[in-house]
Amino acid sequence: MSDAFIKQYLMTAGPTPLPPSVSQVMAEPILYHRAPAFIEVYARALDGLRQVFQTQNDVLAFAASGSGAMESAVANLTRPGEPALVASCGKFGERWGELCDAYGAQTVRLDVEWGSKVEPAELDRVLGANPQVSLVFTTLSETSTGVVNDIRSLTEVAHEHDALIVVDAVSGLGAVPIPQDEWGVDVVVGGSQKALMCPPGLGFASPSERALARAAEDGGGRYYFDWHRTAAGQRKDPPDSPFTPAVSLFVALDVALGMIHDEGLDQVHARHALLGSAARQAVKALELELFGPEDEGANVVTAIKMPDGVEGAKVPKLMRDRFGVTIAGGQGRLKGKIVRIAHCGYFGAFDIITSIAALEMSLRELGHELELGAGVGAAQRVFSEAGVPVGAPA
């Protein structure tokens, strides 16, 4: 601990804070993965995942980080020497490119400036110029910048060019809508440690039948992440995992999915929208600059440019060391340039207020003039005027 006497507030976009009922269920005696008690949990969690992914597809679950589930998509869908398009607007988009390169694909890159969205028209242009591309990899919520892409439109464009689209929704799923079946997204990739309110260690991929059929064409170069192996297990009655599942994480997931179900997915999305709106209003009231376009849909992470004269990297450090509030700074090329206020998962109104209050105090201590409480007040107004319950689920 940096200081055991400072009460700690975890305000990051992954790992995100866990509801007490989720963390506490992991303290129960562990279950044997072939015992009825676990099989019941496993089956219910797999079904609950389908509801959050809003799909009839199997949601394949891997003991892995979200990047492992991303790799499953690349390993199952790309072929050495064949083209794959990566539409990237940040660090996690770039990861798709690195994965495609590692698997020997002929990677075509549509790189958008960090902080901007992937424009559907631009995807259309690049796919038009590369008619041999039959796979598009992109990102729902780009955690490194806060940008949320318009997956519905990007999917339409990909399909017009007869390409499959694979979406990294690790940080967006459960925070912003991505109704897979309604939008026809071919593969959605998720992870446990973001809006699903669980510890890291589970990765998910929900391939459509079309994507699964493509995966079946060549089974080489993969085993653990082979979709058909895991799908065959999960389709058994009762479902079975080809490898020992991460039992304690599944038990946690089951509880968290139950909470999402009880709150209702639409309300979960509405809560994230309200939290995102409050964070943005606070930033504006503080006369700070949002990183990237102001966007009604950017409800996972709010990225804030650090003002001139403030050494950006010091801000999250001071917030943590002095006030016990852990937020994320910038990653990669944004190191020291932005900070990121998360509202992804088990977050309520007063988490935003805490993050903004600590940000105000830290910026002031680092010599940036601002009115203490100005950002907090703006966030309060958003919550008060919403006139709806704004807490995280009980």
- What region, left, alpha or beta, does residue 93 occupy, with left being phi > 0 and alpha being psi -120 to 50 degrees? alpha
State the nearest-atom distance from the C-beta of 198 to its own copies, in Å.
9
Nearer CB in complex with its own copies: 48/199? 199
State the nearest-atom distance from the C-beta of 252 to its own copies, in Å.
8
Q: Interhelix angle for 36-53 vs 247-263, to 10°?
A: 50
State the nearest-atom distance from the C-beta of 71 to its own copies, in Å.
4
User: What does 75-109 look like in DSSP terms, one character per residue?
Assistant: HHH--TTSEEEEEESSHHHHHHHHHHHHTT-EEEE
State the nearest-atom distance from the C-beta of 129 to its own copies, in Å.
27
Nearer CB in complex with its own copies: 49/70? 70
Which positions lie near its own copies, rule CB under 8 A?
Answer: 1-2, 8, 10, 12, 14-18, 23-24, 26-37, 62-68, 71, 74, 80, 98-99, 102-104, 191, 193, 199-201, 219-226, 242-249, 320, 326, 328
State the nearest-atom distance from the C-beta of 33 to its own copies, in Å.
6
Matching residue, tokens 């660090």: 91
Q: Is 134 helix (H, G, I), strand (E, B) or coil?
A: coil
Nearer CB in complex with its own copies: 125/317? 317
Q: Quick one: which H or E segment has residue 329? A: strand 328-329
Nearer CB in complex with its own copies: 146/177? 146
Phi, psi of 25 (to 5 degrees): -65, -25
Nearer CB in complex with its own copies: 62/137? 62
State the nearest-atom distance from the C-beta of 320 to its own copies, in Å.
7
Q: Are 144 and 168 in contact (CB under 8 A)?
A: no
Matching residue, tokens 């459509």: 208
Q: Report the C-alpha gap between 328 and 303 in whole angstroms.
A: 9
Q: Are 181 and 52 in contact (CB under 8 A)?
A: no
Question: How many other β-carbons are positioned within 10 Å of the β-carbon of residue 123?
Answer: 27
CA-nearest of 343, 355, 353, 325 to 392 is 343
Q: Are 64 and 205 in contact (CB under 8 A)?
A: no
State the nearest-atom distance from the C-beta of 131 to its own copies, in Å.
26
Strands 289-290 and 60-63, by their bridges, are unpaired
Nearer CB in complex with its own copies: 183/346? 346
Nearer CB in complex with its own copies: 87/252? 252
Q: Report the C-alpha gap between 295 and 117 in whole angstroms.
A: 10
DSSP 334: G
Please, which residues bridge with residue 16 across strands? Answer: none
State the nearest-atom distance from the C-beta of 341 to its own copies, in Å.
14
Nearer CB in complex with its own copies: 281/355? 355
